[in-house]
Amino acid sequence: MFRGDNMKKAEAAAVLLCLLASSIWITAAEQLKPGASREATQSFLNRTADAVLALKSTRFSLKREGTPAVLDAKNNITFTAADCAYASPDRVSCDVKVALKNGSILQLTRVWVPEGTFQSNPLTRQFGKAPADANFNGVVLFARTGIPEILKTAVQKTQVVERETLQNRETLHLRGEVSGEKLNPLVGSTLKADVMYPVDCWIEEKSANIVRIHVTEPENNGWLIELFGTNEPVDIPTPQLPPATPKPQD
Cα angle 67-69-75, degrees, rounded to a multiple of 5: 120
Q: Phi and psi at residue 208, in whole multiples of 5°?
A: 70, 20
Q: How confident is the model at residue 56, as a pLDDT?
A: 97
Q: How confident is the model at residue 16, as a pLDDT?
A: 46
Q: Phi and psi at residue 199, in whole multiples of 5°?
A: -130, 125
Q: How confident is the model at residue 7, as a pLDDT?
A: 52
For residue 55, the SS3 value is coil
Half-sphere exposure of 81 (CA within 13 A, CB side): 7
User: Per-residue DSSP letters for 168-218?
Assistant: TEEEEEEEEEEEHHHHHHHHTS-S-TT-EEEEEEEEETTT--EEEEEEE-S
Identify whether the C-beta of residue 217 lies closer than 8 Å to the C-beta of residue 197.
Answer: yes
Q: How confident is the model at residue 182, as a pLDDT?
A: 95
- Block means of pLDDT (10 residues each) for the chain, 250 residues, are 51 48 42 83 96 97 91 81 96 93 88 94 89 79 96 96 93 97 88 96 96 96 96 95 68
Cα angle 208-211-217, degrees, rounded to a multiple of 5: 120
Identify whether the C-beta of residue 133 lies closer than 8 Å to the C-beta of residue 74.
Answer: yes
Identify whether the C-beta of residue 91 lies closer than 8 Å to the C-beta of residue 118.
Answer: no
Q: How confident is the model at residue 71, as a pLDDT?
A: 80
For residue 89, the SS3 value is coil
Locate the domains of the chain by residue range. 37-55+141-228, 57-135
Q: How confident is the model at residue 147, as a pLDDT?
A: 96
Identify whether the C-beta of residue 67 lies closer than 8 Å to the C-beta of residue 61.
Answer: no
Closest listed residue to residue 211, CA positions, set 229, 227, 232, 231: 227
- As its CATH architecture, domain 37-55+141-228 has Clam (2.50)
pTM above the 0.85 mark?
no
Q: How confident is the model at residue 188, as a pLDDT?
A: 78
